Structure 1
Amino acid sequence: MFIHKINDDLALKLIELKDSNRVFELTDTSRNYLREWLPWLDTTTKLEDTIGFINMCLKGFSENRSINTVILFKGNIVGVAGFNNINWSNKTAQIGYWLGEEYQGFGIMTRVAEALTEYAFKELALNKVEIRVAVGNKKSRSIPERLGFIDEGCIRQAEWLYDHYVDHVVYGILSEEWTNK
């Protein structure tokens, strides 16, 4: 099993089917909060939806296309983060993440994104990591900005969010930039 310890309180663990109840509960209790920026809340309404998501994550991991983890904070699952897409030909990965509402504001996601970026460069030998964020999502945008990612531009109408499109800012950092910062 994949476990990546970040510090004494924080770790990433490969998502497993046994995590489905907690991940669904966390989704459900944070539903209104998460819905502002995540497009999948209306299609994740029962435990079976979360089980389907986890099976998709495990398939991506077994095919070496993605790594999705649960975020463990003091031993409790508080969110999900990982590489939604790994492109081995181009040596790139895209980080995606979400955190339960009650765990916001503790710096958890910044440390998680930093650890994933470090893992991408040191363990996976990738050349570039990207984080794509809705333009208006200031909290989420502050994470790659704090970590020294470069604003590479805007993808217009990149995502349908329930009743409207949102533009995405693409943040990227190269291995050499990460090493030299």
Structure 2
Amino acid sequence: MFKHIIDQDVELRLLDNHHAEVIFQSIDSCREHLREWLPWVDGTKTVEDTKSFIEMTKKQFASNEGFQTGIWYQGEFAGIIGYHGINWANKSVSIGYWMDERYIGKGIMTKACKAFVDYAFYGYKLNRVEIRCAQGNDKSRAIPGRLGFHEEGIIRESEWLYDHYVDHVVYGMLDREWK
């Protein structure tokens, strides 16, 4: 099983079926926190829903379209980070992530995101990495800012979030800028 150790506290693990329970418990325990910015929370009602997500990520990995990992902090599940399908024709990808609210503010997601950007450029040899965040999601937006991404613009009413649209801020990083 793939495991990437970032430092003594943080590691990334490819998602597998035996992670479903702990992932679901994390989602369920901080549902209100996650629901503020993520449109899939209400659709995740059971461990079986989480297993279906994990199966989808396995297919993504098997078809060479990227992958999703669990983020583990001091041995505890803390969140998920992954690639939204790789665009091989344009050598680009976007990164998505979420974190259990108990682990916010420890620099964990910034470290995980840096590892994903490194892999996009050095492993996959891509040219562009993008991160999109809802305009009001300051904590999520701080991550590409800390990593030196360029704020490239706003996509108005980009995502339907339960009862309203949110604008997305687009951040981009090119291979030559990362090096």
What is the TM-score when the length of structure 2 is the normalising length? 0.98
* Corresponding position of 2:14: 14
* Corresponding position of 1:70: 70
* Corresponding position of 1:46: 46
Alignment pair present for 1:32 and 2:32: yes
- The amino acid across from 2:38 in the alignment is L
- The amino acid across from 1:61 in the alignment is F
Distance 1:68 1:87 in 2: 16
Distance 1:94 1:3 in 2: 21
- The amino acid across from 2:153 in the alignment is G
Question: How big is the shift at 1:66?
Answer: 2.2
* Corresponding position of 2:152: 152
Distance 1:87 1:12 in 2: 23
- The amino acid across from 1:60 in the alignment is Q
Question: How big is the shift at 1:15?
Answer: 0.5
What is the TM-score when the length of structure 1 is the normalising length? 0.97
Question: How big is the shift at 1:2?
Answer: 1.8
- The amino acid across from 2:168 in the alignment is H
Distance 2:148 2:109 in 1: 15
**What SS class does the counterpart of residue 126 from structure 2 fall into?**
coil
* Corresponding position of 1:113: 113
Distance 1:40 1:92 in 2: 24
- The amino acid across from 2:137 in the alignment is N
Question: How big is the shift at 1:99?
Answer: 0.5
* Corresponding position of 2:169: 169
* Corresponding position of 1:137: 137
- The amino acid across from 1:115 in the alignment is A
* Corresponding position of 1:98: 98
- The amino acid across from 2:148 in the alignment is G
Distance 1:3 1:122 in 2: 17
Q: 1:49-71 deviations in whole A, cap 9, x for unaligned? A: 11111111111111111210000
- The amino acid across from 1:34 in the alignment is L
Moved over 6 A (4+): none
* Corresponding position of 1:79: 79
Distance 1:110 1:27 in 2: 20
**What SS class does the counterpart of residue 71 from structure 1 fall into?**
strand
Q: Which runs of 5+ in 1 are unaligned?
A: none
Q: 1:46-96 deviations in whole A, cap 9, x for unaligned? A: 111111111111111111112100001112211000112211111111110
Q: 1:23-68 deviations in whole A, cap 9, x for unaligned? A: 0000000101011000011100111111111111111111111210
**What SS class does the counterpart of residue 80 from structure 1 fall into?**
strand
Distance 1:150 1:91 in 2: 18
**What SS class does the counterpart of residue 8 from structure 2 fall into?**
coil
34-43 vs 84-93, greater mean Cα deviation? 84-93
Distance 2:9 2:87 in 1: 31
Question: How big is the shift at 1:123?
Answer: 1.1
